[in-house]
Structure 1
Amino acid sequence: MSQAQEQETVREDGKIRSVSGPVVQAVDLDARMNDVVYVGDEGLMGEVIEIEGDITTIQVYEETSGVGPGEPVMNTGEPLTVDLGPGLLDSIYDGVQRPLDVLESKMDSAFLDRGVDAPGIELDKHWEFTPEVSAGDEVEPGDIVGTVEETVTIDHKVLVPPTFEGGEVTSVESGDFTVEETVVELDNGEEITMRQEWPVREARPSANKKTPREPLVSGQRILDGLFPIAKGGTAAIPGPFGSGKTVTQHSLAKFADADIIVYVGCGERGNEMTEVIDDFPDLEDPSTGNPLMARTSLIANTSNMPVAARESCVYTGITIAEYYRDMGYDVALMADSTSRWAEAMREISSRLEEMPGEEGYPAYLAARLSEFYERAGYFENINDTEGSISAIGAVSPPGGDFSEPVTQNTLRIVKTFWALDADLAERRHFPAINWNESYSLYQSQLDPWFQENVEQDWPEERQWAVDVLDEEGELQEIVQLVGKDALPEDQQLTLEVARYLREGYLQQNAFNPTDMYCPPAKTYAILTAIHKFNDEAFRALEAGVPVDEIADIEAAPRLNRIATQEDWEEYVAELKDTIETQLREKY
């Protein structure tokens, strides 16, 4: 809704009483909680967050410098909503869904003035609407009435708004329409357009939330192989500065097998968001060959943008994700980072003089995090389709301290935990995910999919790798005390096998065009090759072959080169035979 449209619904003016950063108090304002208001002579957008007697407290989504007492406050009588319809994809928004490219053209500058507004989707653009219903058909809330080719990748499905009653179709049109023109009329007088509005803090309705059974394949070996996430699952990526949170999310956004990507840059550094905004339009979708932006919606709220808009940007992102879920799509939402979101809540809470919780965060921190992650899931929609939202949130604990409140409260909610490690990053081990601290609670429900679509012994191979890595972690403590040579030969050999697991399996080169994406079948093949080396090596050891001779065979270093082979199937088959031949020649 544009500023001009919203001001038409103004109920009553109030006046500013006081200003404290993004928090403004107004008097004589007839308002309800979460109403959108326009503050001051410049009409800065804000939201009602507290009402006490005649005093209304507002969080303003723009910089408030220069705003003073006595200036007017205008209420729209509507909550903060987003525009939903064709045009959401291949778009870049700020935290309250203002399209940045449109604002830039209005300002003729990359630096935006205050009080500038624009609708979330283009209101005058024409779209080719193809009906999927006919006159006389009965439709219900959420039903699909037609399609629009939104991008070269995605067909946008026009839905009966969930707030409508539904009824019999009396008129339906095909052809070019703007998003505000009626395309379907019902017998009860309801007119369906291609545009909907939805309050960002309210979850869109669904028929049923189901247990997810299919993985969100990421193409990252350590994620798919050891710590998978389900389509409709939740994951957290905590890590200190420089450990690779943003890069991991970029890889997920590019390679995850979701239909739609919603990327929310929440309070991150401006140079990182600039890189995303510059790079994403040029990236190719590996699954279709089309531009990646054709299935992506970006929400950019950098650390120098107003703090209040940061608090709302994750709600904007999850609402857009729910809209595409209602169409039957699988959506992956990246929130980078929820720590900056929590910091915004902390700042607003302190200005409201609320009782602080742990480390100054508001007492409702855990509740807000739960509300966000609970909107993810695998759903049966009200129109009998099925769709999913996978929510992946980066967490930026100060100093890498995972015991701080945001990380701990997130841990209680999500079922997949990918812990990034600064020490691994310093050793140039990427992705720098610590396999000893990470976990996934989706493994048992996803194993049947991997067994059916990859290999039957997928769970056994994964467990073998976990056991070897666990044993290596215990042995490394001994090695640091007495040295590797003091260990028995079988334990020395275990360390050698674990080294190939770390270097050839867990590490992945994001700059290598072959290794940047690893399908599950290749992930499995690399693991089985290392397992083959393990089995043959221990047979040789039992036959009396020294560990040094086992480790020195010519074929062993080739385990680290499987990932970069385009013809990896033939390479792995030949390598297994070579390993067996070379080791058995030793005895």
Structure 2
Amino acid sequence: MSTGTIKKVAGPLVIAKGMRDANMFDIVRVSNQRLIGEIIEIHGDEASIQVYEETSGLGPGEPVESMGVPMSVELGPGLISSIYDGIQRPLDEIMAVSGNSLKRGVEVDSLKRDKKWDFKAVAKAGDEVETGDILGTVKETIVVEQKIMVPFGVKGTIKEIKEGEFTVEETIAVIATEEGDKEVTMMQKWPVRKGRPYLKKLPPQMPLITGQRVVDTFFPIAKGGVAAVPGPFGSGKTVIQHQLAKWAEADIVVYIGCGERGNEMTDVLNEFPELKDPKTGESLMERTVLIANTSDMPVAAREASIYTGITIAEYFRDMGYSVALMADSTSRWAEALREMSGRLEEMPGEEGYPAYLGSRLAQFYERAGQVVGLGKDGRIGYLSVIGAVSPPGGDISEPVSQATLRIVKVFWGLDSALAYKRHFPAINWLTSYSLYLDDMAKWFDTNVSPAWMECRQDMMNLLQEESELEEIVKMVGMDALSPADRLKMEAARSIREDFLHQNSFHEIDTYTSLEKQLSLMKLVVAYYVEAKEALQKGAAIDDLIGMEVRERIGRFKYVENDKIQEESDKIHQELKDEINHILEREGL
């Protein structure tokens, strides 16, 4: 264990001398107040330490002690429904110790040491086991069953395995290895900056169904994929992430509030326990881990928070679960990186961000994926990462947005103009994209309908043509358009208002099943196809635009799931009848 003394204090950066025996990324305790920090640079016997707590009042000569281990998280029963800060300190435990204000130097365990968990063994004495094999299970919440796995680097024969109620520190099994007997507890530790190992990473095969029409139909994200949600202030980034946390087909949700405003994080902390999980009927917190690192908390801890979150997410992925991680927002994380880089006097890159911004972002996002975990049963786990980006003034040409877009495969570009028009989700269909689309097409054709991709393409073509026609309308007005072009504009308006616009606060419209999305797509496209044929036969454009059935199509998104087919058939028939009536009336 290396000890030294403080030489210099510059905000969250402390330089200590006499640290020759310390290693990079070691955890250290700074001053007699034992503030927690991490070594991020070493020159000779001087170590630069980023301190995860407020450093005011520290001065030269105070002691610094290296703990000899890298920053790690505690993994085991007790993670689910917990609320941690950026370095995995439980905020409720800190409040019990120090009151409402976060005091410095508070040392609390990440997992409760006194709570007993009911461990049920699935392995037995005499079994040959290796890293990742499941020893037993713990019912952590009503929803989540945690699988207790053989820790990394352990391989041998189970000598003894127990059942019953244990704390996370008590021995539940003894494994005879080549190096001797190894006692196994329910708790593991893992360094946050190092990805948890797996057997093999698989290519994306299926979409992460979210129930959000603009996402599932137009810009799907793969299960185990990565997406970025850049957008200016007020464009709905946080609401989209809340919707995905609630409705996405994920077993576990890890939500990281990274440098967010305190009131926004308070909303999350208040809303998540009250949100009813649609899959189980229980509180959403029963399958959620929250990491709250608000903008007024020490900046260095913000830099650590996304690594803490993704390591916890990887742990559940290794059990074979589908995990969705929301990082809100990586821009604030990059700002913390920039501040620390500036204090280290490193050569700045574009807009003052460090030159390694892109590689650090890549290291984070590349930890997502669909993987075959360690262990003999070949469990497949999914870790999907959705990162919000908050570019200043909504300008996505800035470095964080650009570095993110080079890494992720899905870009949901939020548009302030759509948000001002109260069109939510405010995802711009002309600038957004999904590079998973070709991989997902086969899945949609097989599991939903061969008509899925065809309808999607028809709608996309209409929206793109509307964009081109809008330029003409701005110059010479709607009346200058031909009847065929006017019909295109109306059909595109129907796509925008009836399909893409989705009310997250409406009990039915908040989530749309794939079956209902397909029915609504077919109705919107059928209106255009039928009206276009009638127009070619000589029907008046005003009659086709003013059809009463269009109101029924618009209200289809509020139809309950069990009435989808019946209502869809009725509307299709009404559409045909009304067009026939128009043609008969005009003698065509």
Would the TM-score normalized by the shorter structure come out above 0.5?
Answer: yes
Residues 2 and 68, structure 2, Cα contact 8 Å, conserved in 1? no
2:251 equivalent to 1:259: yes
**Aligned twin of 1:17:** 7
Alignment-derived partner of residue 511 in structure 2: 517
2:269 is the counterpart of 1:277: yes
Give, in whole Å, the separation in 2 of the partners of 1:214 and 1:110.
Answer: 45
Deviation for aligned residue 1:372: 0.2
Letter in 2 for 1:342: A
- Greater alpha carbon shift after TM alignment, 116-125 vs 219-228: 116-125
Q: Name the aligned partner's letter for residue 131 of structure 2.
A: P
| One-letter identity of the residue aligned with 1:585 | H
Q: Are positions 1:504 and 2:494 aligned together? A: no
Q: Does 1:458 align with 2:449?
A: no
The equivalent residue for 1:376 is: 368
Task: After superposition, give the CA deviation of every residue in 1:469-496 in whole Å (9 maximum; x if it has no partner).
Answer: 1111111111111111101110000000
CA distance in 1, matches of 2:253, 2:299: 24
Gaps of 5+ in 2: 584-588
CA distance in 1, matches of 2:5, 2:312: 34
Q: Structure 2 counterpart of 1:364, which letter?
A: Y
**1:36 and 2:27 matched:** yes
Displacement of 1:289: 0.7
Structure-1 residue corresponding to 2:157: 168
In structure 2, distance between residues paired with 1:216 and 1:120: 31
Q: Deviations over 1:225-271 (max 9, x none)?
A: 10000110000000000000011000000000101100000001111
| Counterpart position of 1:56 | 47
CA deviation vs aligned residue, 1:194-240 (integer Å, no higher than 9, x gap): 00000000011010000121111111000001000011000000000
The answer as to 2:66 corresponding to 1:75 is yes
Give the Cα–Cα distance (whole angstroms) in 2 for the partners of residues 127 and 12 of structure 1: 37
Is 1:584 the equivalent of 2:575? no
Deviation at 1:499, TM superposition (A): 0.4
Structure 1 residue 569, shift from structure 2 partner? 2.7
Residue 480 (structure 2) pairs with residue 491 (structure 1): no
Whole-Å separation in 1 of the counterparts to 2:119 and 2:360: 38
Measure the CA separation in 2 of the matches of 1:545 and 1:110.
Answer: 70
Partner deviation per Cα, 1:284-321 (whole Å, 9 max, x = no partner)? 11011111111100000010100000000000000001
Distance 1:251 1:231 in 2: 16
Task: Tell me how far apart the structure 1 counterparts of residues 534 and 437 of structure 2 sit (CA, whole Å).
Answer: 34
**After superposition, what is the alpha-carbon deviation per residue over 1:335-382, rounded to whole angstroms, capped at 9, x for unaligned?**
000000000000000000000000000000000000000000000111
SS of residue paired to 1:118: coil
What letter is aligned with 1:486? A
1:6 is matched with which residue? none
After TM superposition, give the deviation of residue 397 of structure 1 in Å.
0.5
2:356 corresponds in structure 1 to 364
Q: 1:117 aligns with which of 95, 107, 121?
A: 107
Code of the residue aligned with 1:542 in structure 2: it is Q
* 1:158-237 equivalence runs, <5 A: 158-164=148-154, 166-188=155-177, 189-237=181-229
User: How many angstroms apart in 2 are the aligned matches of 1:570 and 1:305?
Assistant: 54
1:543 and 2:533 matched: no
Indicate conservation of the 8 Å contact 2:221/2:436, yes or no.
Answer: yes
* Alpha-carbon distance between aligned partners in 2 of 1:466 and 1:12, rounded to the nearest angstrom: 62
CA shift, 1:539, in A, is 1.1
TM-superposed CA distance for 1:163, in Å, is 2.7
Counterpart check, 1:423 vs 2:414: no
2:122, 2:238 → 1: CA distance? 40
Residue of structure 2 equivalent to 1:240:
232
CA distance in 1, matches of 2:205, 2:354: 36
Matched to 1:89, the amino acid is I
Structure 1 residue matching 2:36: 3-state secondary structure: strand
> Could you tell me whether the CA contact under 8 Å between 2:213 and 2:512 is conserved in 1?
yes
Aligned residue number for residue 586 of structure 2: none
Number of the residue aligned with 1:574? 570
- CA distance in structure 1 between the aligned counterparts of 2:350 and 2:55, rounded to whole angstroms: 29
TM-score, normalised by the number of residues in structure 2: 0.97
Q: Supply the AA of the counterpart residue of 2:580.
A: R
**2: CA distance, partners of 1:470 / 1:123:** 59
Letter in 2 for 1:489: P
Which residue does 1:136 correspond to in 2? 126
Partner of 1:394 in structure 2? 388
Q: Which residue of 1 aligns with 2:469?
A: 475
Structure 1 residue 456, shift from structure 2 partner: 1.6
Counterpart-to-counterpart distance in 1, 2:17 and 2:206: 53
Q: Secondary structure at the match of 1:332?
A: strand
CA positional deviation for 1:448? 2.0
CA contact (8 A) 2:70 2:191 kept: yes
Letter in 1 for 2:347: M
Whether 1:409 aligns to 2:403 is yes
Name the counterpart of 1:147: 137
**Which residue, 379, 385, 393 being the options, matches 2:379?**
385
Distance in 2 (CA, whole Å) between partners of 1:395 and 1:492 is 37
Aligned partner of residue 197 in structure 1, secondary structure: strand
Q: How far is the alpha carbon of 1:27 from its aligned partner?
A: 0.6
Which deviates the most, 552-561 or 43-52? 552-561
The alpha-carbon deviation at position 447 of structure 1 amounts to 1.7
SS where residue 56 of structure 1 aligns? strand
Identity %: 54
Deviations 1:399-452 (A, max 9, x none): 111111000110110000000000000000000000000000111111222222
Q: Does 1:85 align with 2:76?
A: yes
- Counterpart residue type for residue 133 of structure 1: A
Once the two structures are TM-superposed, the CA of residue 12 in structure 1 deviates from its matched residue by 2.9
The amino acid of 1:118's aligned partner reads V
**2-structure distance, mates of 1:239, 1:569:** 37
Amino acid across the alignment from 1:73:
V
Counterparts of 1:476 and 1:159, CA distance in 2 = 59
1:95 aligns to what SS in structure 2?
coil
The alpha-carbon deviation at position 21 of structure 1 amounts to 0.4
Which string of whole-angstrom CA distances, capped at 9 and with x for unpartnered residues, describes residues 518-554 of structure 1? 1111111111001111111001101111111101111
| Match of residue 98, structure 1, among 89, 101, 114 | 89
Gaps spanning 5+ residues in structure 1: where? 1-10
In 2: Cα distance, 1:559 partner to 1:359 partner: 49
**Amino acid paired to 1:155:** E
Q: What's the C-alpha RMSD, in Å, of the aligned pairs?
A: 0.8
Aligned to 1:343: 335
Given residue 20 of structure 1, which amino acid in structure 2 is its aligned partner?
A
User: Which residue in 2 is equivalent to 1:527?
Assistant: 521
Separation in 1 of the partners of 2:202 and 2:406?
Answer: 20
Is the partner of 2:102 in helix, strand or coil? Answer: coil
SS in 2 for 1:586: helix
User: Quick one: which amino acid aligns to residue 571 of structure 1?
Assistant: E
Q: Distance in 1 between matches of 2:342 and 2:444?
A: 48
Indicate the SS of the match to 1:25: strand
SS in 1 for 2:473: helix
Rounded to whole Å, the distance in 1 between the matches of 2:113 and 2:471 is 64
Counterpart of 2:171 in 1: which secondary structure? coil
Q: Between 64-73 and 421-430, report the one with greater CA deviation.
A: 64-73
The CA distance in 2 between the partners of 1:375 and 1:273, in whole Å, is 25
Letter in 1 for 2:416: A
Contact 2:22-2:66 within 8 A present in 1 as well? yes
